[in-house]
A and B are shown apart, each in its own frame.
Chain A
Amino acid sequence: MSFTDILLLMFSAVLVENFIFSRFYGCCPFLGVSEKPDTALGMGMAVTFVMTVSGAATWAVYRYLLVPFGLEYLQTVAFILVIAALVQFIEMFLRRFIPALYSALGIYLPLITTNCAVLSSALLIVQEDYNFIEAVCFGFSAALGFTLAITVFAGLRARMAYADPPRAFRGFPITLIAAGLLAMAFSCFSGVQL
């Protein structure tokens, strides 16, 4: 496992296989919390934080708890519990020790438990059989891709607020169509050979 491999893994997780535009993980917060660029960035940062830590935690739980006891089929239950506990723990930790970060991320943290990007990154790490360093890097860079997508999209939506679409398209439909166009832009990365 060389340094270049890690770099390639991260590049592909951020751009080529972007969680939102090519795999559809985490679309709910992507469409729900992207009205203003700064809240979108806050959500992205919270997700990055949780996904990096949960990548490491679920890797350890799978390798040292589920595999030795032959309980691999319980991975979904185990991972969602680990993620829920982790989010709760991170929330308490931040409130106690880093209040500034807590007040910035606080409201987004509880939402992350049901963010499918976090659970799917944990499941993908198991599926792809990553080692510990790869798991952490994958969690971090996939979340970075999520942050990139949600921030760019929030910028688009901030400008779209001044547009005047037909009445039936107002609100959610025009947002989805904008997301479709952005997905087209991102799909040009799918031709990149690594």
Chain B
Amino acid sequence: MNRYLRQLKEGILDQNPTLVQLLGMCPTLATTTSLENAFGMGMAATAVLICSNVFISLLRKFIPRQVRIAAYIVIVSGFVTAVELLMRAYLYPLYQALGLFIPLIVVNCIILARAEAFASKNKVLPSAMDGLSMGLGFTFALCILGTVRELLGSGSLLGYRVLPESYPDMVVFLLPPGAFLTLGFVIAAVQKLRGMSEERRRRRSAAPADTAAGATAPVAADGAHSAGEADGAGRKED
């Protein structure tokens, strides 16, 4: 059980696929104009990631090494088509908002990377857990970006007006330049935090038993920090 929890923490924080491994940039930049879209995209990718990891792990002894990438792509695209059809049937507004980025989950580097690096070498249950934790890490990163961009760009969250009416909407955050700038500032904040925690670890290398205590702190600091940084950037631009 402990092992799965550690996997979950790795996926969401230490090895976050978007903010630390820097994979899957296209959907990260394109679908984070609002928190709702970001969450929807993250969940769709998570569903595909879990299914494809389980399936590839089941078939890992049968797929020949030479054609493994092609086999993975076929498996992933099958699940993506299923998710696409389900979303068109039950979540039509979200399906329309995300547009081509749902079929483009097929070529999301995170999914192929996890298939190649994890699911092809591990048993089914750890692979499913890996899919879940990496998917949640991706969703988490998208939600940070979605929150910052929706808040600064249209002054609302999940469609409800949060900031006072006197706040001038900075539309640039909903446009492509804002996507690049926000992601840049968020990753800078993550690098800063990682540098700080590494230094702390180095200083305390004599007593290496404080990982559990330090694990939860960065999350809260992360969100606040990145929002603050991006806010500063917004003001500069305005």
Contact = CB atoms under 8 A, between A and B. Distances in A.
A72 B28 CA distance: 28
A124 B73 contact: no
Contact of A76 (B25, B84, B188): B84
Given A24-B26, A24-B29, A172-B187, A184 B74 contact: no
Q: Max chain A CB contacts within 10 Å: which of B74, B109, B177, B189? A: B177
A100 to B, nearest CB: 27
Contact of B176 (A22, A114, A168, A177): A22
Nearest to A175: B184
A121 to B, nearest CB: 10
Question: Looking at A73, A124, A180, which has the most chain B CB atoms within 10 Å of its CB?
Answer: A180
Given A119-B103, A180-B184, A168 B179 contact: no
B232 interface: no
B23 to A, nearest CB: 8
B181 A115 contact: no
A163 to B, nearest CB: 14
Contacts of B176: 21-22, 24, 183, 186-187
A29 B36 CA distance: 27
**Which bracket fits the contact residues of B?**
35 or more
Interface in A24-51: 24-28, 31
Interface string A157-182: 00000000001111111111101110
Interface residues of A: mostly helix, strand, loop or mixed? helix
Contacts of A186: 176
Contacts of A120: 100, 104
Given A22-B176, A73-B81, A184-B177, A27 B191 contact: no
Interface in A111-147: 113-116, 119-120, 123-124, 127
**Majority SS at the chain B contact face:** helix
Contacts of A115: 107
Interface string A12-26: 000000000111111
Contacts of B184: 169, 172-177, 179-180
Nearest to A78: B77
B30 A168 contact: no
Enumerate the 7 nearest inter-chain pairs by beta-carbon distance, A residue then B residue, closest first: A176-B184, A180-B180, A24-B30, A173-B188, A168-B192, A180-B181, A177-B184
Interface of B: 22-26, 29-30, 69-70, 73-74, 77-78, 80-81, 84-85, 100, 103-104, 106-109, 112, 172, 175-181, 183-185, 187-189, 191-192, 195
Given A27-B29, A168-B188, A173-B188, 10 more contacts: A76-B80, A77-B77, A84-B70, A127-B100, A168-B189, A172-B184, A172-B191, A174-B184, A180-B178, A183-B176
